[in-house]
Amino acid sequence: MNELLRVEQLGVVFHAARGRVYAVDGVDLAIAPGEVLGLVGESGSGKSVTLRAIARLLHEEAHITGRVLWQGRDLLTLPARALEQVRGAGIGTIFQEPMAALNPVLSIGLQIDESLRAHTGLDAAGRRARARELLDLVGIADAASRLRQYPHEFSGGMRQRAMIAIALAANPKLLLADEPTTALDVTIQDQILRLLLRLVSELSMAMLLVTHDLGVVASTCDRVAVMYAGRLCETGPTAQVLHAPRHAYTDALLRALPGEGAARARLQPIPGMPPRIDHPSPGCPFAPRCTHAEPRCDRERPAMQDVAPGRASACFAQDRLGVAA
């Protein structure tokens, strides 16, 4: 497969005062050009940490291991200056809370201009024209006067559009989107999702979409990766994974959805305690809550195995699930 980004055995350990937290453990991902990959999981599953680790946005108490290959280069070992060139120009990033992610005391125009100045050779007039063009692109009317305004003068949806415009300023080939609609009103969530999908296809960009909303995954993603307790459970084409899960966790997740998973719905709680990521178990982290668990699930960690073309799962019950569905 022709790959844009390849993540190999990504691990993130936070060194906190009270001990270590194993946030991400052995995650493999690959994204092809133009592809939309959904990374789905409950809060605390490590999906957002994975996204931030890819762009090396975590702070110093996070120890990252593994490799993040971008055009044959490992982003995790890239010198700071080279990394700055990849960020923004190669990989754009948008966050969950546009109000928090936009600098409150700088105008939107300046925050776009920063990216253009860093990544394009445009002169001042060229950058101004490009900034207006970007606001038009994300559907913000009256671009010229909007550029002079500050984040608090924008509505929630407009802020998210502005953040997308900033992230797209330098034409990245991959967009990392960290729960881009979670903080928004339901009516605006759809608009923003549609906008993202349109931009992905118009600009022939790939996107890693982190979400805890299976409905969002179903309606936007080509492929999906499911995470639990910092580990990858299964990956595969969205339709196949959602209709015939091959991991007990995905299965439980879908069963917990009201209305057979077709309707847009947030993840429902699964019975049992959420996993402790400060003391990782030697076996499958989902075993204590799993209805399919076998004795070895507590002791042995199931390895990621190909279960079908383009599909992989890390579950000892993968075959039984196929039958049950």
Partner 1 sequence: MSRGTWLVGRLLQIIPTLLLIGVVVFVLVHLLPGDIVTSMLGDHATKQAVANLRRSLGLDRTLAEQFVLFVRNALRGSFGDSLAHGIPVARLIAQRLPVTAMLTAMAVVIAVVLAVPLAFVAALRAERAPDIAIRVAFQVGLSSPIFYVGLVLLSVFAAWLRWFPVGGYGSGFLDHIYHLILPAFALALSLSAILMRNLRAAILGVIRAEYVDFARAKGIAARLVLFRHVLRNALIATVTLLGLSIGSLLGGAVVTETVFAVPGVGRLMVDSIFARDYPVIEALTLILAVVVSITFLATDILQMVLDPRIGR
Which helix (H) or strand (E) segment holds residue 233: the answer is strand 231-237
Q: Which is nearer to partner 1, 153 or 319 (CB)?
A: 153
Our finding on whether 93 is near partner 1 (CB under 8 A) is yes
Task: Identify the residue among 4, 37, 162, 167 touching partner 1 (CB under 8 A).
Answer: 167
Radius of gyration of the CA atoms of the chain, in A: 20
Our finding on whether 103 is near partner 1 (CB under 8 A) is yes
Report d(CA 312, CA 231) in Å as an integer.
Answer: 13
Task: Identify the residue among 87, 212, 231, 292 touching partner 1 (CB under 8 A).
Answer: 87
Report d(CA 302, CA 33) in Å as an integer.
Answer: 30
Report d(CA 30, CA 33) in Å as an integer.
Answer: 10
Task: Identify the residue among 27, 162, 163, 184 touching partner 1 (CB under 8 A).
Answer: 163
Task: Identify the residue among 80, 141, 273, 323 touching partner 1 (CB under 8 A).
Answer: 80
Our finding on whether 106 is near partner 1 (CB under 8 A) is yes
Query: Minimum distance from CB of 309 to partner 1 (Å)?
Result: 34
> Which residue stretch of 38-46, 64-72, 162-170, 283-291 sits at the interface with partner 1 (rule: CB under 8 A)?
162-170
Say if residues 215 and 184 touch (Cβ distance below 8 Å): no
Residue 321 half-sphere exposure toward CB, CA atoms < 13 A: 27
Report d(CA 322, CA 314) in Å as an integer.
Answer: 14
> Which residue stretch of 168-176, 190-198, 206-214, 279-287 sits at the interface with partner 1 (rule: CB under 8 A)?
168-176
Our finding on whether 92 is near partner 1 (CB under 8 A) is yes
Our finding on whether 57 is near partner 1 (CB under 8 A) is yes
Our finding on whether 115 is near partner 1 (CB under 8 A) is yes
Give how far Cα 152 sits from Cα of 18, 20, 101, 106, 285, Å.
37, 38, 12, 10, 42
Distance of CA 127 to the CA centre of its chain: 29
Q: Which is nearer to partner 1, 116 or 241 (CB)?
A: 116
Distance of CA 239 to the CA centre of its chain: 18
**Residues near partner 1 (CB under 8 A):** 52, 55, 57, 59, 80, 83-89, 92-93, 95, 97, 100-107, 114-115, 117-119, 150, 152-153, 163, 166-167, 169-170, 176
